[in-house]
Every structure is written in structure tokens, then in C-alpha cells.
């Protein structure tokens, strides 16, 4: 017998709660200057699945990065590419804001 989702009451195989949560999240992308004027791309609003998202972003962007305190930090300026990558991961493009 399959497990039942506590939010929607459907079996886990048919549950779409995770997809809906990703589409409803408001994500903010901005640049922060660190030591020696190096740019860091900061992504805010990903949530607890940030550790899985950071692995995929680092491999696709070929850069270093980390997940700290609810923020994804990527080395370098990746504002031009980040929207396409987040959309391919299931996030809604209209909810992503670049500052």
C-alpha cells in the first residue's frame, strides 16, 4: 500500500504538492561584492530543498558555491543564466526577480 500525502490526501505517486510549492515561491537574485571586489550571485527564497538545487546549479554553471542560512551563494555573476536554469528545475519565471 502506498503512502498518502498529508497535505492533499492523494497517494504519493499522484501528489503534486511539491510542484505547486515550487511554482508559488518568490525568488530574489542579486549580486553582492565580497573580498577583493569579487562578485557573488545570491539566490534567496529557495527553501529547504536548496541543498539539492545548489548541486545542480554549480554543475550547470561550472562554478563554486554553497547554501548558507537560506541563501544560495554562487561564485561569479550569473544573473543572465540563472532564470533559465531555475525554470528548468521547475520554478515559475514570473516569480523570479533579479535586482
Q: What is the pLDDT of residue 13?
A: 82
User: Closest Cα to residue 4, out of 22, 17, 21?
Assistant: 17
For the chain, which ranges sit under pLDDT 70? 1, 19, 22-23
N-term to C-term CA, the chain: 47
Angle at 25 between CA 19 and CA 26, to 5 degrees: 150
Q: What is the pLDDT of residue 22?
A: 67
> Which homologous superfamily is 26-98 in?
SUI1-like domain (3.30.780.10)
Dist. CA 63–CA 40, nearest whole Å:
11
Q: What is the pLDDT of residue 16?
A: 77
Amino acid at each position: 500500500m502506498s503512502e498518502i500525502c498529508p497535505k492533499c490526501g492523494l497517494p504519493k505517486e499522484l501528489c503534486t504538492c511539491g510542484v505547486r510549492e515550487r511554482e508559488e515561491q518568490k525568488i530574489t537574485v542579486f549580486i553582492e561584492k565580497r573580498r577583493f571586489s569579487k562578485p557573488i550571485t545570491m539566490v534567496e527564497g529557495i527553501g529547504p530543498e536548496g541543498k539539492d538545487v545548489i548541486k545542480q546549479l554549480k554543475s550547470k554553471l561550472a562554478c563554486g558555491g554553497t547554501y548558507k542560512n537560506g541563501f544560495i551563494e554562487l561564485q561569479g555573476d550569473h544573473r543572465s543564466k540563472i532564470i533559465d536554469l531555475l525554470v528548468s528545475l521547475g520554478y515559475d519565471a514570473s516569480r523570479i526577480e533579479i535586482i
